[in-house]
Amino acid sequence: MTYEIEEKINLIAKWIKDHDRVVIFTGAGVSTESGIPDFRSPGGIWERFDPNEFLFDKFLASEKARRNYWQLHTEIYYTILKAKPNPAHLACVALDRMGKLDCVITQNIDNLHQNAGLPREKVIELHGNALKVTCLSCKKEYDRKDIQQRVEGGESDLRCDDCKGLLKPATIAFGQPMPFKEMHEAETRSAAAEVFLAIGSSLVVYPAAYMPIYAKQGGAKLAIINLTPTPYDHQADVVVQEKAGVAMDMIFESMKKRV
Ligand code: NAD
């Protein structure tokens, strides 16, 4: 560990020790160490699929687009099913058990925060959850496993059993309205945070990327932990360019030394 990174890690550890309302905001980069590729790094999903093919309007408008959407999401689903939480997810659980964690606000759809042991009510999912499916008309919720069987049985245009509305993975496509309750909760918690850690997010997907700004405006200490630069690095109190799991382990080591 270089002196510079050690100083930054020690500072974040001190903030956490001194405060009780830590909000953690996570993006796809928090799950790459679990084997789920992010969207924008080399080899990420948008190098192999064209995002313009997966817009919400197209999903609504054409059966072909829906078939492609289910195909992409079948790949994502099986990748997610194989993945296990990594040290960054476990660090969030450890912070919660120490009474420090207000909540995790995640852009991820992979359920790994919950799989790591974080109580459901501590996780605010801004972009939904790939292990669920919803009817776009009556909002009935389905278990993804059951719907996946129908996809693999050859059904290409999946419809709700009750109202015949369109079924879609319970995730937010580009152009799809954000979930109102989760957005409101995330904005409120961000603005009230004492310490805000943005981990593994490129901070270019809106409106999620506003959360660190709400936190900063509310007076929080802001740390960005990401492998590559983000548009908000200049607003952060500390920027750590390191793997999420490695950085969170270092923060915990530093906290232990400060007991
Ligand atoms: P992104 O792909 O735009 O950015 C990920 C960022 O994480 C990149 O800047 C990258 O440099 C960084 N990164 C990669 N591995 C890292 C690591 N080990 N440690 C620290 N940083 C690392 O992802 P985003 O900002 O979350 O936004 C993209 C959208 O993609 C979100 O809406 C999210 O819902 C969705 N997504 C989710 C998953 C998932 O659920 N695991 C996976 C892919 C995409």
Predicted confidence (pLDDT) per residue in 219-259, tens digit: 999 999 999 999 999 999 999 999 999 999 999 999 988 65
Find out whether the beta carbon of 31 lies less than 6 Å from any atom of ligand 1: yes
Structural domain for 66, as ranges = 37-82+128-171
Separation of CA 139 and ligand 1 centre (Å): 28
What is the CATH classification number for the domain harbouring 118?
Answer: 3.40.50.1220
Q: Are 112 and 70 in a shared domain?
A: no
Predicted confidence (pLDDT) per residue in 87-112, tens digit: 999 999 999 999 999 999 999 999 99
Q: Are 235 and 149 in a shared domain?
A: no
- Which residues make beta-bridge pairs with 24? 104, 197
Q: CB within 8 A of 191, min separation 6: which ones?
A: 214, 215, 217, 218
Find out whether the beta carbon of 247 lies less than 6 Å from any atom of ligand 1: no
Separation of CA 37 and ligand 1 centre (Å): 8
Contacts 24+ apart (CB under 8 A), 37-46: 37/79, 38/200, 38/202, 40/202, 40/204, 41/227, 41/228, 45/72, 45/76
Tell me which of 49-58, 78-87, 92-101, 142-151 is least confident.
Answer: 49-58
Q: Are 202 and 103 in a shared domain?
A: yes
The per-residue pLDDT for 202 is 95
Predicted confidence (pLDDT) per residue in 53-75, tens digit: 889 999 999 999 999 999 989 99
Count of domains observed in the chain = 2
Separation of CA 9 and ligand 1 centre (Å): 21
Annotated active-site residue 89? The verdict is no
Find out whether the beta carbon of 254 lies less than 6 Å from any atom of ligand 1: no
What is the CATH classification number for the domain harbouring 57?
Answer: 3.30.1600.10
Q: Are 252 and 144 in a shared domain?
A: no
Q: How far is CA 51 from CA 17, 42, 168, 203, 221, in A?
A: 41, 15, 17, 17, 34
Angle CA 13–18–19, to nearest 5: 100
Say which of 73, 89, 113, 127 is annotated catalytic. Answer: 127
